[in-house]
């Protein structure tokens, strides 16, 4: 059964090709389709397109379907095209002609749009929760290890002293900026397209502000043409935010992989978090970190994939948009699993203490010695040349200690300030408002 079917159906080859992976991906949308329909029929009842009795029975059946979906019992019948058709078919099967009234004043276009936005909104919340958990762990580990020094590199050559606290705190602050971009994507997602129909509105006197409030959206996509133009754009903006998080996570995974290497040996992990070799009994392979790195690299390609699929399309709906689901829907689960596994790795990571006492790291302190001479009144360039000659002659001696006090340095990590920035970003996600609205919609 197809919502658009008239007297003639498409050939099986056409149906199979154009449906693609939609049937399996629709499982993601089933619950959100019911929520959108509940809001829609509430609005239809308010403007007289459904009687109170019709609204009551439709609402009751939709909530029953929602409960079954929540239990994992949703399935598409073999003859049914998609989730929207399935739910309408169940309603019609149970309620007769009343079930057919649910589609008044909307198109499958805005139905899909609202489902996707509701799905994205919920998935963004999952990403935020997992990111915040890893952020908190990084802050904790940075504080614990702030006095343990670590070699700093530029060009992968020894550069200056760093610390494990400085290294871990850097990734914590990076996640603040990443969630700032995700918050921007969330603001785009959290606008209601329902009522735009096929992209040109409806002659029914729809109350779009009502459905906006019922679904907990912050605002409307007001212009109905733009609501449809948002398809593809919303996915691209969201994918870009996910890619930013993936870039930070992938870089952290690369650092850990490098630092675990025996030639570095800065950190270690329990055997149960690494894998072995079929031939080399000594191996402790960082497979978890390598898979995180690979998945995050793939996520960084996602915005470009979406851009290329949607580029040069004119306004209005196009079937090309369907392909976006199979690109971005799994991306949320990929990213949250990577965040979760990185949390597991960092929680069980041990750092090597007294690293920089090894004589091979003594030149890391050359700038410290230059700065010490400058503080004695020697011009910087003269001090630079003096220390350079000591290094060339083999007479350089590393300072006994490092003293950094400015904001964001080893001796002043500013972790409370970074925490405050994260808290400020998190305030921009009004998840509690959404939860209240959906709870009221379901009368739970």
Which residue, 106, 122, 109, 125, is CA-closest to 38? 106
Question: Which two three-digit tokens encode residue 395?
Answer: 């007479």
For residue 154, the 8-state DSSP code is: E
150-170 mean pLDDT: 96
Report pLDDT digits (tens) over 293-310: 999 999 999 999 999 999
Mean pLDDT over 130-155 rounds to 97
Q: Which residues contact 280 (CB under 8 A, 6 or more apart)?
A: none
Handedness of CA 257, 258, 259, 264 (dihedral sign): positive
pLDDT attached to residue 444: 59
Question: Which pLDDT belongs to residue 10?
Answer: 59
**Number of CB atoms found within 10 A of residue 144's CB:** 13
Query: What would the mean pLDDT of 233-249 be, rounded to a whole number?
Result: 98
Q: How many CB atoms lie within 10 A of CB 98?
A: 18
pTM over 0.75: yes
Identify whether the C-beta of residue 230 lies closer than 8 Å to the C-beta of residue 113. Answer: yes
Alpha helix (H) residue ranges in 190-223: 208-214
Asked if residue 142 has pLDDT above 90, the reply is yes
16: tokens are: 């199979």
Distance CA 109, CA 317 (A): 7
> Higher model confidence: residue 282 or residue 199?
199
Quick one: angle between helices 52-70 and 30-46, nearest 10?
A: 170
Q: Round to whole Å and give the CA distance between 156 and 159.
A: 8
Residue 257 and residue 349: Cα distance in Å, rounded? 12
For the chain, the 3-state helix, strand and coil shares in percent, each to the nearest 5, are: 65, 5, 30
User: Mind listing the pLDDT tens digit for each residue in 337-380?
Assistant: 999 999 999 999 999 999 999 999 999 999 999 999 999 999 99
The CATH class of the 12-103 domain is: mainly alpha
CB atoms near residue 268 (< 10 Å): 16
Contact 95, 39 (CB under 8 A): no
Statement: residue 190 has pLDDT above 80: yes
Q: Work out the mean pLDDT of the chain and round it to a whole number.
A: 93
- What is the structure's pLDDT at 402? 86
- pLDDT given at position 1: 47
What distance in Å separates the CA atoms of residue 22 and residue 9, rounded to the nearest whole number? Answer: 18
Backbone phi and psi for residue 154, each to the nearest 5 degrees, phi listed first: -130, 140
CA distance 285 to 127: 27
pLDDT above 90 for 215: yes
- Tokens 């915005």 sit on residue: 303
Return the ∠ at Cα 259 (arms to 254 and 260), rounded to 5°.
100
Distance (Å, whole) CA 51 – CA 45: 6
Distance (Å, rounded) from C-alpha 246 to C-alpha 296?
5
The pLDDT score that the predictor gives to residue 244 is 98
- Report d(CA 35, CA 42) in Å as an integer: 11
Q: Rounded to the nearest 10 degrees, what angle do helices 108-144 and 83-95 cross at?
A: 120
Domain 108-144+163-352+420-442 has CATH 3.40.190.80: no
219: β partners: 191
Measure the CA–CA gap between 207 and 194, rounded to whole angstroms. 10
pLDDT single digits (tens) 20-64: 777 778 889 999 999 999 999 999 999 999 999 999 999 999 999
Sorted by where each begins, the domain ranges of the chain are: 12-103, 108-144+163-352+420-442
**Residue 399: which pLDDT band, with cuts at 50, 70 and 90?**
confident
76 has pLDDT over 90: no
Residue 182 has pLDDT above 70, yes or no: yes
Q: What is the mean pLDDT of residues 258-286?
A: 90
* Distance, CA of 346 to CA of 339 (rounded, Å): 11
**Is-contact 253 292, C-beta < 8 A?**
yes
Structure tokens belonging to residue 190: 């959290």
Q: What is the mean pLDDT of residues 411-437?
A: 97
What pLDDT does residue 17 have? 77
86-105: per-residue pLDDT in tens?
999 999 999 999 999 999 99
Same fold for the domain at 12-103 and the one at 108-144+163-352+420-442? no
CA dihedral 98, 103, 105, 106 (to 10 degrees): 170
**pLDDT, position 23:** 79
Which residue from 346, 340, 356, 414 is spatially nearest to 141, judged by alpha carbons? 346
Indicate the burial class of 9 (C-beta count within 10 angstroms; 0-12, 13-18, 19 or more): exposed
Share of the chain above pLDDT 90, in %: 86
Query: Given a cut of 90, is residue 125 above it in pLDDT?
Result: yes
What is the pLDDT, as a whole number, of residue 144? 97
Cα–Cα distance for residue pair 18/306, rounded to 1 Å: 18
- For 280-296, write each residue's pLDDT tens digit: 878 889 999 999 999 99
pLDDT at 14: 79
Strands 191-192 and 219-220: parallel
Whether 141 contacts 349, CB under 8 Å:
yes
């Amino acid at each position: 059964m197809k919502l658009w079917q008239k007297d003639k159906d498409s050939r099986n080859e056409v149906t199979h090709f154009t449906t693609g992976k939609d049937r399996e991906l629709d499982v993601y949308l089933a619950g959100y389709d019911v929520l959108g329909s509940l809001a829609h029929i509430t609005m239809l009842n308010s403007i007289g397109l459904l009687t109170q009795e019709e609204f009551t029975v439709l609402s009751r059946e939709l909530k029953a379907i929602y409960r079954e979906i929540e239990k994992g019992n949703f399935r598409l019948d073999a003859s049914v095209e998609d989730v929207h058709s399935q739910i309408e078919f169940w309603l019609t099967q149970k309620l007769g002609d009343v079930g057919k009234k649910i589609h008044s004043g909307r198109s499958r276009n805005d139905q899909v749009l609202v489902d996707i936005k509701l799905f994205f909104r919920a998935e963004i919340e999952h990403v935020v929760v997992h990111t915040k958990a890893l952020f908190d762990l990084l802050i904790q580990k940075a504080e614990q290890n702030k006095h343990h020094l670590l070699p700093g590199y530029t060009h992968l050559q020894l550069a200056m002293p760093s610390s494990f606290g400085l290294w871990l705190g850097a990734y914590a602050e990076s996640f603040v900026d990443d969630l700032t971009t995700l918050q921007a994507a969330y603001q785009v997602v959290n606008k209601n397209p329902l009522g735009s129909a096929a992209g040109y509105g409806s002659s029914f006197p729809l109350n779009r502000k009502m459905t906006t409030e019922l679904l907990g959206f912050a605002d409307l996509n007001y212009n109905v043409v733009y609501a449809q133009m948002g398809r593809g754009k919303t996915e691209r903006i969201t994918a870009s935010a996910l890619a930013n998080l993936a870039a930070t996570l992938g870089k952290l995974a690369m650092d850990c992989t490098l630092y675990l290497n025996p030639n570095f040996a800065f950190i270690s992990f329990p055997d149960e978090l690494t894998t072995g070799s079929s031939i080399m009994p000594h191996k402790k392979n960082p497979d978890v970190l390598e898979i995180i790195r690979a998945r995050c690299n793939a996520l960084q390609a996602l915005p470009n994939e979406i851009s290329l699929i949607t580029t040069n399309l004119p306004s209005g709906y196009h079937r090309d948009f369907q392909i976006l689901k199979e690109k971005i829907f799994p991306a949320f689960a990929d990213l949250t699993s990577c965040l979760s596994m990185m949390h597991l790795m960092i929680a069980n990571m041990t750092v090597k203490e007294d690293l920089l006492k090894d004589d091979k790291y003594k030149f890391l302190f050359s700038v410290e010695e230059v700065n010490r001479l400058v503080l004695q009144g020697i011009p910087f360039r003269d001090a630079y040349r003096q220390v350079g000659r000591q290094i060339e002659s083999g007479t350089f001696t590393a300072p006994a200690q490092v003293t950094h006090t400015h904001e964001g340095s080893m001796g002043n990590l500013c972790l409370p300030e970074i925490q405050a920035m994260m808290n400020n970003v998190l305030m921009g996600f009004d998840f509690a408002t959404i939860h209240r609205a959906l709870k009221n919609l379901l009368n739970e």
